[in-house]
A = this chain, B = another copy of it.
């Protein structure tokens, strides 16, 4: 089905143009017109692929989430098999934080998306679902580690999940160079060591 593949490819090209606009000039410049210019297509052509700005933003965000997922999958393949849940959590956190250029683009896209979502009910629902999925994935890993005796049984899985997810709070500190990548990773390691230490 070459037509369908083409369509998907064209949508990804446009979504990447949106990322570049957001990354280089900020969210206020991310209009349909500016994205069309950056993608090198006419506004009419862009509107053929995305009928609304909301549709474009949602697609661009899903693509960013997918790429983060791909980086995590590649990272998982490089770990000892089966991977230890501590290593999986560290990998997920490291790929969500703006520690490297690829992750920085999706991290900025995600932060801008959350802000925009506060004023747009359709985006809000999508953004909420995305965060909920991420939190649920961390919760499964924590519960599994408790069952397998890698985390002490007296730890509350909900609270431990929330404390792990909160570590994405390093994002603005890293972006504004208030802390260095190695310091963020050292803090994450310290937190994970304490979470997993007691039961090992």
Seen from chain A, the residues whose Cβ lies within 8 Å of a Cβ on chain B are 24-28, 30, 108, 111-112, 114-120, 124, 127-128, 131-132, 135, 156, 158-159, 162-163, 165-173, 175-179, 183-184, 186-187, 190-191, 194
Contacts and interface: CB of A to CB of B under 8 A. Distances in A.
Contacts of A124: 176
Copies in the complex: 2
Contacts of A190: 156, 159, 163
Nearest to A187: B162
Contacts of A184: 162
Contacts of A179: 135, 162
A26 B115 contact: yes
A32 to B, nearest CB: 12
